[in-house]
A and B are shown apart, each in its own frame.
Chain A
Amino acid sequence: MEIKKTSLNKLHQSNNAKFVEFAGYEMPIQYSKGIIEEHKFTRSNSGIFDVSHMGQLFIYGDENLTEELEKIFPLDLKNLKQNSSKYSFLMNEDAGIYDDLIITKIEDGYLIILNAACKNKDFEILSNLLGSKFKMNLDNNRSLIAIQGPKSVEILNSIINGVNNLNFMTGNWFDSDNKKLFVTRSGYTGEDGFEISISNDKAENFVENLIEKGAQLIGLGARDTLRLEAGLCLYGHELDINKTPVEANLRWAISKSRLSNGGFIGSKKIMNQMQDGASQIRVGIKPEGRLIAREKTKIFDDTDTQIGEITSGTFGPSVNGPIAMGYVNKDFSKVDTKILLEVRGKKHPANVCALPFYKKNYVKGVD
């Protein structure tokens, strides 16, 4: 299959991107400055991320659609305000996760942002569940640009006036250059920032404008270290079809009002696990010293019994040390529990720790 390119591909090239294949797309892993500098620039200034490979699914409908979607997602969508967003999951009957996503209520329906590797399958699953009652559009004509970091609000507001009034996890349509952009105040780096849905033919010019105002392009490498420091899950690593939201320690994303009556896909398993606890749970892990424990590293207790596995591990540039997330047996999930990580045949001490590794700077309210 031919590798796909986003509408910013030429711009990545002219900024000396190193490319990798990701979910069938040619994506920049880093630019000439490297992952650590790109990471730190995002934390201190403003980083631009091409996330156009992600799926932008528009589903159109009225309250009937809301009712149908509540049979799928563990969310209180009836009470979700227009232009508000929620983090959620598409699950199977056993509460195994097909994908994690952001769903936003828009004027005439919903916009769902899906992971690149999952979007086509998600579309198929949702089409089967919803039937032909609602118009669905997995929009390939729009790019998705994230701008993240403390200076992003000032930079973006100078191009799209009014975005500074958005609260965290809300969005709206804006007009710019005679095109309609959908902007949400959200992101996946642990920083204040925005995601902008823009038609493909305007994307390159828009990003060039952001660069002119002082933001810089950031690759997927730094996106990974940023999200890991923020304690955020990445599908295919922390989340997959064999993990449930309770096991992934994402109970907060399940609307409380939906837990008493269930009625969404996977609700039985979720309600059981909420009551009895899950046997394995996602935790933060800090190796002692500088050792890095990568994905698939086995976790042991002091009696040589395997108690879990690392799902993501790297060096955290802002933490200035190694960080990881993984699943452990629930008896070992308390903060400060001593564990051992097997790296290159030797066991190294580490501690279970609270998430995030790096404190968030989200803007909660703008009054």
Chain B
Amino acid sequence: MSEVKFSKEHEWITLEGDVATIGITKHATEMLGDIVFAELPEKGSNVEKDGTAGVVESTKAASDVYTPVTGEVVDTNQAIVDDPAKINEDPEGGAWFFKLKIKDTSELDTLMNKEEYDKFAKETSS
């Protein structure tokens, strides 16, 4: 599996072959608070880099989830729809959102690595 990459919209992404797994970061969940609702893209649909690909809602507000790369949705994580609290518990592990079959792996090159993201998250949240 590839190195974890991060987007400015607070998604994380890993790549295995041509299938990417995408979720939201721990930092995002800390900003959102208790997550109580998740909506995921439909399997078989196509999503565009930086387009919306889902929604999460906390007790306070709704937020869009974006996809950091273009691709076809090949799998979604029903477990987080059934129990959204899992997203707060394990955001960068078991609570992934969706998997994409991607065409252009070079789209990942524009994303941040862990160190860059941590710095970005710290700067933007203060």
Asked if residues B62 and A315 are in contact (CB atoms below 8 Å), the reply is: no
Q: Say if the beta carbon of A225 comes within 8 Å of chain B.
A: yes
Shortest Cβ distance from residue B115 to the other chain A in the assembled complex, whole angstroms: 27
Chain A residues within an 8 Å CB radius of B42 = none
Q: Which of B59, B61, B81 sits near A36, CB closer than 8 Å?
A: B59
Shortest Cβ distance from residue B57 to the other chain A in the assembled complex, whole angstroms: 5
B59 to chain A: closest residue by CB: A35
Produce 1/0 per residue, B46-88, CB < 8 A to A: 0000000001011111100000000000000000010010000
From residue 64 to 103 of chain A, which have CB atoms closer than 8 A to chain B?
none
Whole-angstrom distance between the alpha carbons of A293 and B40 in the complex? 17
Q: Which of A221, A291, A322, A344 sits near B60, CB closer than 8 Å?
A: A221
Chain A residues within an 8 Å CB radius of B57 = 292, 315
Shortest Cβ distance from residue B33 to the other chain A in the assembled complex, whole angstroms: 6
Asked if residues B60 and A292 are in contact (CB atoms below 8 Å), the reply is: no
Whole-angstrom distance between the alpha carbons of A277 and B55 in the complex? 40
Chain B residues within an 8 Å CB radius of A317 = 59
Asked if residues A34 and B55 are in contact (CB atoms below 8 Å), the reply is: no
Give the size category of A's interface with B: 10 to 19
Asked if residues B37 and A225 are in contact (CB atoms below 8 Å), the reply is: no
Whole-angstrom distance between the alpha carbons of A111 and B119 in the complex? 53
Whole-angstrom distance between the alpha carbons of A66 and B59 in the complex? 43
Asked if residues A35 and B55 are in contact (CB atoms below 8 Å), the reply is: no
Q: Say if the beta carbon of B36 comes within 8 Å of chain A.
A: yes
Asked if residues B37 and A314 are in contact (CB atoms below 8 Å), the reply is: no
Whole-angstrom distance between the alpha carbons of A292 and B35 in the complex? 11
Produce 1/0 per residue, A34-47, CB < 8 A to B: 11100000000000
Asked if residues A322 and B37 are in contact (CB atoms below 8 Å), the reply is: yes
Q: Say if the beta carbon of A216 comes within 8 Å of chain B.
A: no
Q: Say if the beta carbon of A105 comes within 8 Å of chain B.
A: no
Number of A-B contacts (CB under 8 A): 37
Q: Say if the beta carbon of B34 comes within 8 Å of chain A.
A: yes
Q: Say if the beta carbon of A237 comes within 8 Å of chain B.
A: no
Shortest Cβ distance from residue B21 to the other chain A in the assembled complex, whole angstroms: 23
Whole-angstrom distance between the alpha carbons of A34 and B33 in the complex? 7
Whole-angstrom distance between the alpha carbons of A314 and B36 in the complex? 9
Asked if residues B36 and A30 are in contact (CB atoms below 8 Å), the reply is: no
Whole-angstrom distance between the alpha carbons of A36 and B87 in the complex? 14
Chain A residues within an 8 Å CB radius of B55 = 344
Shortest Cβ distance from residue B41 to the other chain A in the assembled complex, whole angstroms: 13
Chain B residues within an 8 Å CB radius of A35 = 33-34, 58-60
Chain A residues within an 8 Å CB radius of B81 = 290
Chain A residues within an 8 Å CB radius of B37 = 290-292, 315, 322
Produce 1/0 per residue, A1-35, CB < 8 A to B: 00000000000000000000000000001100011
Whole-angstrom distance between the alpha carbons of A36 and B37 in the complex? 13
From residue 86 to 117 of chain B, which have CB atoms closer than 8 A to chain A?
none
Chain A residues within an 8 Å CB radius of B60 = 29, 35, 221
Chain A residues within an 8 Å CB radius of B33 = 30, 34-35, 221
Q: Say if the beta carbon of A298 comes within 8 Å of chain B.
A: no
A33 to chain B: closest residue by CB: B34
Q: Say if the beta carbon of A294 comes within 8 Å of chain B.
A: yes
Chain A residues within an 8 Å CB radius of B58 = 35
Chain B residues within an 8 Å CB radius of A315 = 34, 36-37, 57, 59
B55, B58, B81, B84: which has the most chain A beta carbons within 10 Å?
Answer: B58
Shortest Cβ distance from residue A351 to the other chain B in the assembled complex, whole angstroms: 18
Shortest Cβ distance from residue A318 to the other chain B in the assembled complex, whole angstroms: 12
Asked if residues B84 and A314 are in contact (CB atoms below 8 Å), the reply is: no
Produce 1/0 per residue, B1-35, CB < 8 A to A: 00000000000000000000000000000000110
Chain B residues within an 8 Å CB radius of A225 = 59
From residue 281 to 324 of chain A, which have CB atoms closer than 8 A to chain B?
290-292, 294, 314-315, 317, 322
Whole-angstrom distance between the alpha carbons of A315 and B88 in the complex? 15
Shortest Cβ distance from residue A40 to the other chain B in the assembled complex, whole angstroms: 11
Whole-angstrom distance between the alpha carbons of A290 and B82 in the complex? 9
The 7 residue pairs across chains A and B that have the minimum distance between CB atoms: A315-B36, A35-B59, A36-B34, A292-B57, A34-B34, A290-B37, A292-B37
Taking Cβ atoms with an 8 Å cutoff, the residues of A that contact B are 29-30, 34-36, 221, 225, 290-292, 294, 314-315, 317, 322, 344
Taking Cβ atoms with an 8 Å cutoff, the residues of B that contact A are 33-34, 36-37, 55, 57-62, 81, 84
20 A-B pairs with C-beta separation under 8 A = A34-B33, A34-B34, A35-B59, A35-B60, A36-B36, A221-B33, A221-B60, A225-B59, A290-B36, A290-B81, A291-B37, A292-B37, A292-B57, A294-B61, A294-B62, A314-B59, A315-B34, A315-B59, A322-B37, A344-B55
